[in-house]
Amino acid sequence: MSRFENVAPTMRRRLIRPRTAALLLALAACRDATTTPAPSSAPSAAPTAARALLDVAWEAACGLPDDPHRKTKARLQEETATAAVALGADDLARRALDAMSGWRAGMVAAGLAERLTATGRIEDVRDLLARAARCADDEASREDFQAWRRDRVRARIAGVYLRLGDPVEAARFEADAADSEAATADVVRAEIAFGPSGFDERLAAADAALAGDSFDRARVALESCVRLFDVFYDDPARRAAAEKRVTSGYAKLPPAARLAHMAELVRVAAKHVDRAAARRLADVFAESLDATPWLPVDRIARRAQLAQLRAVAGDAEGAKSALDAALADFDAQRPAIVDVERADALRPAAEACVALGDPARASDLYRRATDEGAANPNARPRAVDLVATCTSMAKAGFVPDAALLERIKAVRAGLKAPW
């Protein structure tokens, strides 16, 4: 019998509920390989359109030659497999895992274990965690060994054990972690914190990290505060305390990292159907965006992200205005943006259109992103862009029409030497 199978049935159900259910429980407590696997026809939770896009992305990722693009290939495989896990295409994620190796395979295995735990399907979780642990251990034998890679996988494993109610095993995988990955499991601890004392304990841990000099620990601390903001949303004072840390804690945090956390606050407020707070936080995001100098492609992408956030917050007019500004900026700056970065600016704009409920405009922008990403004469950057565009569409819930899907497949078929 495993150590988490011995947990009392009622507690066990609570530990393995989906994340959203765990958050609701917390609120209640506050109140009271190298070859391409063939696409599978097995039933999947992912919609048909998303699955077709992920299949194209996986083929594009696996098409890169190992020499000299082993690292890029592994990164694109992980990107696709991670999207498959997020969208419930577990069969594709497992096939991808069987084709992968190294620490990125460990991240996929741990991510799939996390998903299965969240949905109460723990039968294969121990095997997946053991597989992830082997991948982490194997990193130490590589010529290019870097401790953070091994420890990133181990931290993800620790988080799953925390969800399973096994803090002892979690601590074993957290031990002696590189500073860049230390305390990562604290994000999970924030997610499963219960009651005022749980909040106070996690906030104190975050404050200790924010008072230090480690950027990596501060980054994790702020991510934990985002989780606390969500879990304790119905407690105004504690919600405000968590928000304050995210918006102003640790002055040395790079603007891009701060904006990423602030964007999550907007989404959390929208999830709690608090449009007033979501709009206010989107305004804070906009102020920080405007106060920071950016390279053109980064500025455009973040303006498009602002449009998406305003749409999520229920501000359709503000979203359209921000989107128009982003696209006008792109058209003005396009000649100065290198071809391998142009699609990076267009994809967030397309995602904003999906959030606005404008599939026609989203289709036009995804088509432009596909064409811009296919412009470089070398196949490696084309593959990178194609994977990013396909996974963007899949995660956004966008359904390409037949013409766009054929265009995407044509770009995939054209991925050949020179790389």
The values of phi and psi at residue 46, to 5°, are -75, 140
Identify the H or E element spanning 348: helix 339-356
Q: Between 157 and 6, whose confidence is greater?
A: 157
* Both structure tokens of 178: 């590189």
Residue 146 to residue 183: CA distance in whole angstroms: 18
Q: Between 20 and 336, whose confidence is greater?
A: 336
Q: What is the CA radius of gyration of the chain?
A: 22
> Does residue 240 carry a pLDDT above 80?
yes
pLDDT band at 38 (very low <50, low <70, confident <90, very high): very low
pLDDT in tens, 253-272: 899 999 999 999 999 999 99
- Alpha-carbon dihedral angle through residues 75, 81, 83, 84, given to the nearest 10 degrees: 170
Q: Between 347 and 40, whose confidence is greater?
A: 347
Residues 409, 386 contacting (CB under 8 angstroms): no
Mean pLDDT of 248-257: 88
Task: Give how far Cα 120 sits from Cα of 13, 81, 115, 134, 197, Å.
Answer: 8, 21, 9, 24, 27
Q: Give first-to-last CA distance, the chain, whole Å.
A: 51
Q: In this predicted structure, what is the pLDDT of residue 39?
A: 35
Query: Is the bond leading into 196 cis (omega within 30 degrees of zero)?
Result: no
pLDDT band at 46 (very low <50, low <70, confident <90, very high): low
Please state, rounded to an integer, the average pLDDT across all residues of the chain.
Answer: 88
Give the residue from 319, 341, 315 showing the smallest Cα distance to 330. Answer: 341
pLDDT in tens, 298-351: 999 999 999 999 999 999 999 999 999 999 999 999 999 999 999 999 999 999
Residues 344, 376 contacting (CB under 8 angstroms): no
> Does residue 141 carry a pLDDT above 60?
yes
Residues 262, 243 contacting (CB under 8 angstroms): no
> Does residue 83 carry a pLDDT above 90?
yes
Identify the H or E element spanning 265: helix 255-271
Task: Indicate the pTM of the whole model.
Answer: 0.85
pLDDT band at 142 (very low <50, low <70, confident <90, very high): confident
Tell me which residue has tokens 């569409």.
Answer: 393
pLDDT in tens, 360-396: 999 999 999 999 999 999 999 999 999 999 999 999 9
Sorted by where each begins, the domain ranges of the chain are 9-26+47-182, 294-419
Residues 186, 166 contacting (CB under 8 angstroms): no
Taking phi over 0 as left and psi of -120 to 50 as alpha, with beta for the rest, 88 belongs to: left
pLDDT band at 29 (very low <50, low <70, confident <90, very high): very low
Residues 155, 177 contacting (CB under 8 angstroms): yes
> Does residue 9 carry a pLDDT above 80?
no
pLDDT band at 44 (very low <50, low <70, confident <90, very high): very low
Mean pLDDT of 214-218: 90
